[in-house]
Amino acid sequence: MPGDGPAGAPGAAFFDVDGTLTTGTTLFRFLEYRFAVEGRPPQAYTEERQRLRAMTEAGVCRSRTNRAYFASYARLGVSYVADLAEDWFRAELETEGFLHDSAVAALRGHQAAGEPVVLVSGSFPALLAPLARLLEVDAVLATEPETLLGHYTGDAVVTMIGSTKADAVRSWCAEHGIDPAAATAYGDHVSDLPMLRATGRGVVVGGDRELRAVAARQGWRLLPAPPAAPALRLPEPLWTARAPSTAVRRPA
């Protein structure tokens, strides 16, 4: 719990996002929203999901599938994606049910105890920025898509998955004078395990069978799994996407 670190040492809380703080996966919910805005048929989104799922089923590691996700962003303007992400997040909040109340309550508990809160996610900054503002967190450690001259290249420089999360947490603690043993980490997937082990207290949110088994052995606290994410009302096409780098609003 907040404030119970070793010898009263200052603590911090590190939260995974997808499936932990949110009921749905930000990467894919935004992708579906973006494709709808750009006027792409629903089949385009389905085929993209299937492409990435096939990589996972073939045993490709999550960091590589995370990088592969950004292929459809090649040549898209960074500012275009950021603006669209703001629209998407407002739509999520209007739909309601996108945030996982139990995890958000835990986050607020750490804030009430005066502990910094950090999001650590395989998602990327454009999607996490509105959530970070809403929750008033102190920092975001995320996947970093590669950009060139204000546009995405379709690749990623850093994928915040697995051991990279643990390394990022340790580095952040070192930079801010936090003993990792006094910190708490929250995650829902076995890939979050390195991050949970990098801190003094792990908390499993829902969690797959393997992660819950580790939690039982370690005596880690459990939070309930998030409910199913609500269906997101997709927008009417608002953009003409003749070329991703030159997407413009349709005239009124």
pLDDT (tens digit per residue) in 187-230: 999 999 999 999 999 999 997 899 999 999 999 999 999 999 99
Alpha helices in 1-100 (DSSP H): 26-37, 42-57, 62-69, 78-95
Summarised one tens digit per residue, pLDDT across range 109-155 is 999 999 999 999 999 999 999 999 999 999 999 999 999 999 999 99
Task: Note whether residue 66 is domain-resident.
Answer: yes
Instruction: Tell me the CATH number at 123.
Output: 3.40.50.1000
Arithmetic mean of pLDDT, 59-85: 95
Task: Note whether residue 104 is domain-resident.
Answer: yes
Give the per-residue pLDDT at 185.
98
For residue 10, what pLDDT band results from cuts at 50, 70 and 90? Answer: confident
Report percent pLDDT > 90 for the chain. Answer: 86
Nearest alpha-carbon partner for 78 in 150, 184, 159: 150
For the chain, helix (H) and strand (E) counts, in that order, are 9, 10
Residue 195 backbone dihedrals phi, psi, to 5 degrees: -65, -40
Task: Note whether residue 247 is domain-resident.
Answer: no
Amino acid at the residue 249: R
Name residue 222's beta-bridge partners.
Answer: 204
Residue 227 backbone dihedrals phi, psi, to 5 degrees: -70, 170
Residue 96, classed as helix, strand or coil, is: coil
Report percent pLDDT > 70 for the chain. Answer: 90
Listed in sequence order, the residues at least 6 apart from 157 whose beta carbon sits closer than 8 Å to its beta carbon are 144, 145, 146
Give the per-residue pLDDT at 58.
93
Give the per-residue pLDDT at 236.
85
Task: Note whether residue 166 is domain-resident.
Answer: yes
Give the per-residue pLDDT at 251.
31
Whether the pLDDT of residue 12 is over 90: the answer is: yes
Task: Note whether residue 246 is domain-resident.
Answer: no
Give the per-residue pLDDT at 2.
66
Give the per-residue pLDDT at 221.
97
How confident is the prediction for the chain on average, in pLDDT? 91
For residue 163, what pLDDT band results from cuts at 50, 70 and 90? Answer: very high
Give the per-residue pLDDT at 239.
55
Total count of domains within the chain: 1
Give the span between the Cα atoms of 98 and 25, in whole angstroms: 10
Pairing of strands 239-240, 248-249: antiparallel
Cβ–Cβ < 8 Å for 220, 203: yes
Range of the domain at 132: 10-230
Cβ–Cβ < 8 Å for 127, 30: yes
Arithmetic mean of pLDDT, 92-115: 97
Task: Note whether residue 91 is domain-resident.
Answer: yes
CA distances from 87 to 92, 96, 153 (A): 9, 14, 23
Task: Note whether residue 238 is domain-resident.
Answer: no
Cβ–Cβ < 8 Å for 153, 126: no
Task: Note whether residue 217 is domain-resident.
Answer: yes
